Structure formats: C-alpha cells, structure tokens
C-alpha cells in the first residue's frame, strides 16, 4: 500500500505546488517520523492556500493522512498562520478524529513558509546547511500538494489549479483554471487590467518573477499580480545586473542590515549578504567563503525588500554570484550540521503587514474572494517542464484528439520528473516546449 500512494502521486503528475516543483512521489518514498503541512502562505497578496484550507479542510487532512501512511510518519502537523482564523476553525474540526494530527500556529512573519524556518518553528530542530527536512526525519508539503494527493486517491490527475489573480485588475479573485491557460486569459477572467501600462508578476512580489503575459500558468502558479510598469517592485525586478553593480559600488553603506534580517543567517547558516555586497563594491571578496556562502541563499528577498535602507538588491547579487560560481564548476561545500540560532532571532522577524507597506503594495492587498466555478478556455499551452528535473516526453502527435485527463507526457526513463495530462478536451495543434491543445467542442 505504501508504494501505491507514491505511485498514485506519480501517475497523477503531482509536484510540490508551493515551491520549485519537486516531484511529490519522491518525497513519498522516504521514511520519516513527522509530516508537516506548510500552510504559511507568506508571499504578500497571495490568498490561494488560506482559501483552499477553508473550502477543502477534509481533503487537506486526507492528503496529509495519505502522506503519513506512505512515509510511516507517526505525527502530522499543520503549520498555519494564527491569523487564518476561519481556516483554523475548519481544520480543527477536520482533524478531530485523528489524534496523530495537530495544528501549530505561526506568527504573521516573512518567510514563515521557508522550510528551514518552518521546521525550526514547529519542531525546534535545525536542518543542516544546504540540507532538506528529510535529513532530520521530516517531510514538508504545501497545502495544495496534499489536496492534490487526496484528489489523486480519487483517480484525478492534475489538470487545473486555483490561482489568485490580483493587483491592478477589476475583480481580484481566486479562480480555477486549466493548466496551460494563458496569463492574459487569467487577467481577463478577473475583469481585465485597470491600467494600460502594466507588467505581470507571478507567485508573489518577494520570490516571484516578471513574466510575459502570453505565457501559460503551470502546476506551480499560485498567483498572478498585475502592477503598473513603474511600480517599485517591477523596477527592482527589471533592473539590469550591470546597473545594480554600479549602484552597489556607489551606495552600499556597509550597515549589515541585509545580513541581520536574513532568515537563514539567523538560523546559524554562514551566509553574509553584506560581505558579498562589499566584495562586489571592492571588486574582490575579503574571504572566498563569503562568496561561496551564496550557495546557502534561498533568494527570499528579505535582505533586499526589507533589510537594505539604500534600495540596493543584495538578493539579486547573491543569486548572480551563486550562478557565476556554479558556471565555474564550483560545488557547495557549506554543509555544517551543528548550527547555533542567532540570539536576537526572535526580535528580527519581518511582519508581513510592514513588508507589504515597504513594498508599496498596501493598495493592492485585496481580499480576492474564491470562485468555485471553473474557468473555461479555448486553448491551453501545457509546458513539458513545469518542475525540478527533466521535461516530460510527449506521447501524443499533432492532429490527435485528446480527452481532458488523458496522459500526454511521460517521465523520461530513469529521470526525475512528472507526467502531464491534457487539461481540456480538444486537438493537439503544436508540440514544442509546450503542448498546445485547442478546444473543438
Ligand atoms: S535572499 Fe537575502 S535574506 Fe534571503 S536567504 Fe538570500 S541572503 Fe538571506
Ligand atoms: S543593507 Fe544595503 S547598504 Fe547595508 S550593507 Fe546591505 S546592501 Fe549595503
């Protein structure tokens, strides 16, 4: 039965819906003591997880029970922000019959949903540098992933997902779209943009990115945010790295605030964004390990959007340095197992409300009601690669008719990956990096 649950996840094409998209069947094949639901949803403006917990509490708990069964976990924890009061009420009811499951309340801080932060808060245990929750006998899955697992147990593959469409749109809301729906169609479903000159950010202002609105949503798209093209967040995301280097040289005052707010530094990891910025300003690092410490950066953006008083972008610089080191073939050697929590950690948490204000997003912090009616579209473009690992291999041909839910892409032999299914019924019109299906009825 244990392997059946992992196989079920594999056959349904489930990937971690809240992060980089790690194929869930791999996590389900592990043996652990504790299974944690990451119900923090700490990216400003996103609503989808907190709403799904309210609408589908039983499904979430069923998904958690399946995950616990597959991994042998004896303890289940739903780590949820204290402020999601209605969801907590529903979840408390849903876990009543299962004494192995408890609810852990998190503060409304960023990034409460970072796996290392979440595990430390919920269990008081520190995951080693560069490590995974698995290293200390824990699996962490996000809310949507476990709801998908519950649906997989009913034989349903992943063909759609709820997405919060917000920002400068007429009717900010959370709606269910077929996978592969164009972002333009999601904005249309939210009543259209309220401004002419806009750009689109997916998956949140902190860790999200600017995207071409002609691109499709994937299994990992939790939010579509429309912002004016001269908005602070858009400008920060779009600014060229060469300009950022020039400004760093001119404006970094070496105050170390970027390091002082870094959630991984506060957990005892050896990464120092201020020293990386100083290395960039001087044209050479003080010590090489300051630069290789960038391997420990999870690109959460706290240093940039909360820490830096000069409007610099240490997060981007950390990412850039990390990329260059990887390009030179350097491997991450930061793997310390015994870490000491920073004594001031508890005073350095970033309240989400203040973060939203710093991001100049208070005007866009909408409620976004959830709509249960599925949005219909005429065409979808389903990317072969939506997740960590290798792209799926198409098993259909152009001109072929497919039914919604049919398998259209398989995992390459011996690879890490996820299968994909047709998200609407129709005819295959194109196969490239995406499989395009056009509705015929
Ligand atoms: S982005 Fe900044 S704050 Fe976040 S982990 Fe990296 S260095 Fe730390
Ligand atoms: S917070 Fe900004 S100014 Fe201060 S050290 Fe970091 S990058 Fe430099």
> Could you tell me if 112 and 190 lie in one domain?
no
Ligand 2 contacts CB of residue 319 (under 6 A): no
pLDDT surpassing 90 at residue 13:
yes
Q: What is the pTM of this model?
A: 0.95
> Could you tell me if 50 and 124 lie in one domain?
yes
| CA neighbor of 352 nearest in space, from 119, 41, 122 | 41
16, 18, 68, 69 from 28: Cα distances, Å: 11, 16, 9, 9
> Could you tell me if 256 and 288 lie in one domain?
yes
| CA nearest ligand 1 atom 1, residue | 299
Note the helical H segments in 72-169: 85-94, 115-123, 143-152
Query: What DSSP character marks residue 425?
Result: S
Phi/psi class of residue 414: alpha, beta or left (left: φ > 0; alpha: ψ in -120 to 50)? left
pLDDT of residue 388: 87
In a domain, 354, yes or no: no
| CA nearest ligand 2 atom 1, residue | 308
> Could you tell me if 370 and 392 lie in one domain?
no
> Could you tell me if 271 and 392 lie in one domain?
no
Ligand 2 contacts CB of residue 354 (under 6 A): no
Q: How many domains does the chain have?
A: 4
Give the confidence band of 345 by pLDDT, cuts at 50, 70, 90. Answer: very high
**Per-residue pLDDT reduced to its tens digit, 105-132:** 999 999 999 999 999 999 999 999 999 9
Q: Which domain holds residue 218?
A: 159-231+360-375
| CA nearest ligand 2 atom 4, residue | 255
CB contact burial 414-436 (16+ within 10 A = b; e otherwise) = eeebbbbbbbbebebeebeebbb
pLDDT surpassing 90 at residue 310:
yes
| CA neighbor of 53 nearest in space, from 100, 17, 18, 91 | 91
Ligand 2 contacts CB of residue 274 (under 6 A): yes
Which uninterrupted H or E stretch holds 351? Answer: strand 350-351
In a domain, 39, yes or no: yes
> Could you tell me if 106 and 206 lie in one domain?
no
Instruction: Please choose from 237, 257, 298, 312 the residue to mutate so as to test ligand 1's pocket, defined by most ligand atoms within 8 A of CB.
Output: 298
In a domain, 179, yes or no: yes
> Could you tell me if 68 and 57 lie in one domain?
yes
Boundary (domain end) residue, out of 152, 176, 201: 152
Average pLDDT rounded to a whole number, residues 54-75: 98
> Could you tell me if 276 and 364 lie in one domain?
no
**Per-residue pLDDT reduced to its tens digit, 146-184:** 999 999 999 999 999 999 999 999 999 999 999 999 999
> Could you tell me if 306 and 428 lie in one domain?
no
Give the confidence band of 414 by pLDDT, cuts at 50, 70, 90. Answer: confident
Handedness of CA 370, 374, 380, 382 (dihedral sign): positive
Supply 234's token pair: 């858009």
In a domain, 355, yes or no: no
pLDDT of residue 288: 82
**Per-residue pLDDT reduced to its tens digit, 69-107:** 999 999 999 999 999 999 999 999 999 999 999 999 999
> Could you tell me if 101 and 181 lie in one domain?
no
Ligand 1 atom closest to Cα of residue 307: 3
Ligand 2 contacts CB of residue 277 (under 6 A): yes
Give the whole-angstrom CA distance, residue 312 versus residue 309: 8
């Amino acid at each position: 039965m244990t392997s059946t649950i992992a196989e079920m996840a594999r056959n349904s094409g489930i990937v971690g819906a809240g992060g980089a998209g790690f194929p869930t069947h791999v996590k389900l094949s592990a043996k652990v003591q504790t299974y944690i639901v990451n119900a923090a949803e700490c990216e400003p403006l996103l609503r989808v997880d907190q709403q799904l917990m309210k609408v589908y509490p039983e499904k979430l708990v069923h998904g958690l029970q399946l995950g616990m069964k597959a991994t042998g976990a004896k303890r289940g924890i739903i780590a949820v922000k204290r402020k999601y009061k209605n969801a907590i009420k529903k979840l408390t009811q849903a876990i009543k019959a299962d004494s192995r499951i408890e609810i852990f309340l998190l503060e409304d801080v960023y990034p409460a949903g970072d796996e290392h932060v979440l595990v430390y808060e919920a269990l008081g245990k520190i995951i080693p540098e560069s490590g995974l929750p698995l290293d200390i006998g824990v699996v962490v899955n996000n809310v949507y992933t476990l709801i998908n697992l519950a649906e997989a147990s009913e034989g349903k593959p992943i063909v759609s997902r709820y997405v919060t469409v917000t920002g400068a749109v007429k009717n900010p809301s959370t709606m269910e779209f077929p996978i592969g729906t164009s972002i333009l169609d999601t904005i249309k479903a939210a009543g259209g943009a309220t401004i002419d000159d806009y750009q689109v950010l997916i998956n949140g202002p902190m860790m999200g990115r600017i995207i071409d609105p002609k691109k499709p949503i994937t299994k990992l798209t939790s939010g579509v945010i429309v912002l004016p093209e001269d908005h602070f967040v858009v400008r920060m995301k779009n600014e060229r790295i060469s300009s950022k280097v020039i400004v760093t040289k001119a404006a970094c005052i070496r105050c170390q605030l970027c390091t002082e707010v870094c959630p991984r530094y506060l957990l005892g990891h050896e990464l120092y964004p201020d020293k990386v910025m100083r290395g960039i300003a001087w044209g050479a690092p003080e010590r090489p390990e300051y630069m290789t410490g960038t391997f420990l950066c999870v690109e959460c953006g706290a240093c940039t959007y909360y820490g830096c008083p000069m409007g610099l972008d240490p997060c981007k610089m950390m990412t850039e340095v990390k990329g260059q080191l990887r390009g030179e073939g350097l491997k991450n050697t930061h793997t310390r197992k015994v870490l000491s929590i920073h004594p001031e950690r508890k005073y350095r948490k970033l309240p989400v409300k203040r973060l939203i204000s710093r991001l100049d997003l208070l005007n866009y912090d909408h409620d976004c009601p959830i709509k249960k009616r599925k949005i219909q579209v005429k065409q979808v473009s389903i990317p072969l690669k939506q997740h960590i690992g290798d792209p799926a291999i198409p098993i259909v041909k152009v001109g072929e008719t497919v039914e919604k839910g049919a398998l259209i892409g398989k995992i390459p032999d011996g690879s890490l990956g996820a299968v994909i299914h047709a998200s609407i019924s129709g005819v295959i019109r194109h196969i490239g990096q995406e499989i395009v299906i056009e509705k015929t009825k």
